[in-house]
Amino acid sequence: MSATHLPLARRAPNLVGSVIDSSTSLLASQTHDIVRFAMGAPSDDLMPVRVFNQYYGESTPGKYTYGATDGEPELVEQVLALTQLQGIETSADRITITTGGMQGLDLACKLFVDPGDLVVVEGPTYTNGIATALSYGAEVLEAPLDENGLVVEELPELIARAGRTPKAIYTIPTFQNPSGATLSRARREQLLELAERWGSVIIDDDPYGLLRFEGGPVPGFTQIAPGHPLVFSVRTFSKILAPGLRVGWVDAPTELQQLLINAKQAMDTCTNVPAQHLVANFLKDGHLDTHLRWVKGLYQERKNAMRDSLRTHFGNGVRSTNPEGGFFLWLAFAGAYADIHTQKLFEPALRHGVACIPGPAFSTTGAFSDALRLCFATSSPERIDEGVVRLKRAADEMLEG
């Protein structure tokens, strides 16, 4: 039912839904077997639930009441230890614990984006990131992306054409969602220079950086320019541990922390306290390292399995990226399959028992209609092969129909 007869705020029409999130409930309502390439989440068997249960089972006095808005000190301490291991210089007065990465994005836009402000995003990019910027009235400008991430060299020309400088540049620099691409060091440096020239904040959304399973590391913005006043880093435990915990953090300039606390107090008071203690204990007891080593091995195997299956079943009918970490592979139909419109493929694919997200979901312009985002992290190699076979059946049916 439409709500237009209600006294809605002007921003209400800017609240666009997320195709990705909606697919969770759509898939839950399906009664037939579906290979799930749609959601970007670790599969249940890859979440360390037994260890979690152990911590939740502990007597936890004081852990079921309100906590500090900027986060439980035990978790902040563990986040600092984790960042220190990565060679990142930060401090407790730069860290705010958030309710997942989404809250970090929301806080960034709340602090920096006014209605009508220009926000540069990668094309394609994470749907919910676009949705957050739009919810604050941003005008989104999509900049191209290649195998080395955002094509930073093209930004000056794009911005000149737009006739105004961006307030924010939203980037997913490592194992990008949806493409799997990683922004090169040179481009990170160039982007920092442009942000300084334009006075734009870089919203550095990096949920997958700790999931590198091959290739050499690329230093992050926080390593290249420690404490840079224009870098707002959004992090989450969703991909490295479990998304249902809803625990993440922001690493941002100290002078923003009180504003972040004020904004968060007007949103949710504090992040779920028992979940914060669970994560803090998990890290303190040294489980993260073992866990990451285990899952990264599996993700690498799964990525290779997906690329092998695509080659076997589609031959040169598809091209795909070859990410060195993270969850996603970006596929573009080619050759005999070049005319497939992936939004039209969604329904037959689901009927044939495979779910993936069509390319246009990652853009505001309707682009990428030949592309699909496939999450390789969720399924075993055997299931991945089955999923690709089902995808081919659906694609063949479309071509024949």
Among the listed residues 19, 35, 102, 283, the single contact to ligand PMP using CB under 6 A? 102
CA distance 349 to 125: 23
C-alpha 121/C-alpha 338 separation (Å) is: 26
Comparison of 252 and 395: residue with beta carbon closer to ligand PMP? 252
248: contact with ligand PMP by CB under 6 A = yes
- Cβ–Cβ under 8 Å, residues 205 and 104: yes
Output the CA angle 69-75-78, nearest 5 degrees: 145
Q: Provide the minimum distance between the beta carbon of 193 and ligand PMP in the complex, in angstroms, as a whole number.
A: 24
Nearer to ligand PMP, 213 or 333 (CB): 213
Tell me if residue 45 falls in helix, strand or coil: helix
Report yes or no: 379 and 184 within 8 Å, Cβ to Cβ. Answer: no
Give the residues across from 36 on adjacent strands.
Answer: 355
Complex with ligand PMP: residue 131 or 159, whichever CB lies closer: 131
98 or 342: CB nearest ligand PMP: 98
Binding-residue pattern over the window 289 to 328 for ligand PMP, x denoting contact by CB under 6 A? ----------------------------------------
Nearer to ligand PMP among residue 180 and residue 353 (C-beta): 180
Using CB under 6 A as the binding rule, the residues of this chain from 125 to 154 that contact ligand PMP are 126
Report residue 248: phi and psi, to 5°: -150, -170
| Min CB(127)–ligand PMP separation in Å | 9
State the Cα–Cα distance between residues 187 and 219, nearest whole angstrom.
11
203 part of the interface to ligand PMP, by CB under 6 A: no
Note whether 240 and 211 are within 8 A (CB): yes
> Which of 174, 236, 320, 363 touches ligand PMP (CB under 6 A)?
236
| Nearest approach, Cβ of residue 21 and ligand PMP (Å) | 9
Q: Which residue has the tokens 């210089």?
A: 89
Which residue carries 């999931």 as its tokens? 211
Please give the Cα distance from 231 to 192 (Å, whole number): 8
- CA atoms in the 13 A half-sphere facing the CB of 83: 28
Q: Output the smallest distance, CB 330 to ligand PMP, in A.
A: 13
Q: Which residue, 275 or 398, is less far from ligand PMP as judged by CB?
A: 275
Name the minimum Å distance from CB 132 to ligand PMP: 9
- Among residues 122, 204, 205, 324, the one that binds ligand PMP under rule CB under 6 A: 205
Number of residues this chain uses to bind ligand PMP (CB under 6 A): 13
Q: Quick check: 356 and 37 in contact, CB under 8 A?
A: yes
CB of 322 to ligand PMP, least distance (A): 19
CA–CA distance, 194 with 198 (Å, rounded to integer): 6
| Reduced DSSP (H G I as helix, E B as strand, rest coil) percent helix, strand, coil of the chain, to 5 | 45, 15, 35
The verdict on 379 binding ligand PMP (CB under 6 A) reads no
Query: Measured between alpha carbons, how far is residue 231 from residues 193, 216, 244, 267, 348 in Å?
Result: 12, 23, 27, 23, 43
Is residue 183 a contact partner of residue 174, using CB atoms and an 8 Å limit?
Answer: yes
Closer residue to ligand PMP (CB): 182 or 309: 182
Binding test (CB under 6 A) with ligand PMP, winner from 101, 166, 173, 359: 101
Going through 254-327 in order, the beta strands assigned E by DSSP cover: 318-320
Q: How far is the CB of 45 from ligand PMP (least distance, A)?
A: 19
* Sole binder of ligand PMP in the list 40, 42, 180, 209 (CB under 6 A): 40
Stretch 206-225 residues interacting with ligand PMP (CB under 6 A): 207
Pinpoint the alpha helices (H) of 113-208.
Answer: 127-135, 155-162, 185-198
The correct pick among 243, 317, 323, 359 for binding ligand PMP (CB under 6 A) is 243
* Cα separation, 215 vs 212, whole angstroms: 8
Pick the closer one to ligand PMP by CB: 40 or 348: 40
In this structure, what DSSP letter does residue 92 have? G
DSSP-derived secondary structure letter, 325:
B
Which residues within the stretch 161-190 sit at the binding site for ligand PMP (CB under 6 A)? 172, 177
CB 24 to ligand PMP: min, Å = 11
Q: Which residues bind ligand PMP (CB under 6 A)?
A: 40, 100-102, 126, 172, 177, 205, 207, 236, 238, 243, 248
